Amino acid sequence: MTILVTGGLGFIGSHTVVELIKNNYEVVIADNLANSKLEVLERLYQITGVRPIFYQIDVTDEALVEEIFRKHKFAGLIHFAGLKAVGESVEKPLDYYYNNIVSTMVLSKMCLRYQVDKFVFSSSATVYGEQPSPLREDMELKPRTNPYGETKAISERILIDTARANENFAVSLLRYFNPIGAHESGLIGEDPNGIPNNLMPFVTKVAKGLLVKLSVFGHDYDTVDGTGVRDYIHVVDLARGHVRAIEGLDTGVSIYNLGTGKGTSVLELVNAFIRVNGVDVPYEFVGRRSGDVATCFADVSKVERELGWKAELTIEDMVRDAWGFEQGGE
Ligand code: WQD
């Protein structure tokens, strides 16, 4: 069975490609390298012994996407390719709306035209906006007033309505919480271009001495220690959740939170990183980051009940593997 993975050289995409290959799927990757590197393809070969077919294309380009659908008979598609920096989306809303929504529309159109009847979509907990945790799939969507979150909510709507209008088109919307960590080999991991927006890659670069110190955004939240609480999930657990989602996808629309159901504060994560890896991470408390919420974690009972999947790796696994990748792998 062949699966098209858009954004398959990116952080979550590459880890999902590894798990798909381990489960005997053929994989075709489409990626425009906007936030990934071609060398990841070689590293996927080193890890799996398989070199997936790769197309360097922008999946908003309908003609180029159609050429791939003509060449391959896909059993399904996992759509990761997208712009995903919340702050950047406020500065460049049109880039985000165009790229994230047109790509979803082009891919959906090709799925209908070429009878590809399983579409797994990379969504985000951001669609819940500022609601009390634990967050449940049946909650009303209140995408934070940032274009990134809006593009995820709009893409979900497009896919839900398309599935309703085409009974053979089955959709799985996976809402990620905070993916961190890396493959145990250290060959693939979170490797953002430029200064990291997210906490974990910033921590690993401070630990390595590439950045001077971590700024902890806010120390006065109503949480266990005043710092922000999030639901961190190991990227390999997340990848395994995608394989289970595509296997369990039959008809209609499924919506699942992919998290651990547990909250961890910034200080708890940083201290775990220091303790497990035996390295220092200098930090200072600064003001809150605009748009941040105090606490965000998932209710994960639905995915466990319906797909029989749950996250298994621990915070210690996450910080160990994140450091292993920063150090350059095996
Ligand atoms: C985590 C915690 C920060 C950096 C975002 C997107 C979400 C998803 C994941 C795409 C917060 C604190 C961070 C730093 C800090 N992206 N922090 N210093 O904001 O929970 O989620 O990334 O799908 O959609 O919203 O992740 O890693 O940026 O922040 O103190 O230098 O770490 O305040 O409490 P976030 P994050």
Give me the residue spans of the domains in the chain: 2-180+232-259+302-311
How distant is the alpha carbon of residue 269 from its chain centre? Answer: 19
CA-to-CA distance for 36 and 42, rounded, in angstroms? 13
Q: Is 25 a catalytic residue?
A: no
Q: Which of the following is catalytic: 25, 148, 232, 283?
A: 148
Mean per-residue pLDDT, 20-46: 97
Instruction: Give the model confidence (pLDDT) of 58-117 as tens digits.
Output: 999 999 999 999 999 999 999 999 999 888 999 999 999 999 999 999 999 999 999 999
Nearest CA to ligand 1 atom 21: 178
pTM: 0.97
The reply to whether ligand 1 has any atom less than 6 angstroms from the CB of 175 is no
Q: What is the mean pLDDT of the chain?
A: 96
Q: What is the pLDDT of residues 308-330, one digit of tens each?
A: 999 999 999 999 999 999 998 65
Whether ligand 1 lies within 6 angstroms of the CB of 96 is answered as no
Is the Cβ atom of 285 under 6 angstroms away from ligand 1? Answer: no
Q: How confident is the model at residue 169 (pLDDT cuts 50, 70, 90)?
A: very high
Q: Residue 133: what residue type?
A: S
- Centre of ligand 1 from the C-alpha of residue 124, in Å: 12
Candidate from 12, 127, 217 with most ligand 1 atoms within 8 A of CB, to mutate: 217
Domain 2-180+232-259+302-311: which CATH number of 3.30.565.10, 3.40.50.720, 3.20.20.220, 3.10.100.10: 3.40.50.720
Q: What pLDDT does residue 329 have?
A: 65
Q: Does 289 sit in the ligand 1 pocket, CB within 6 Å?
A: yes
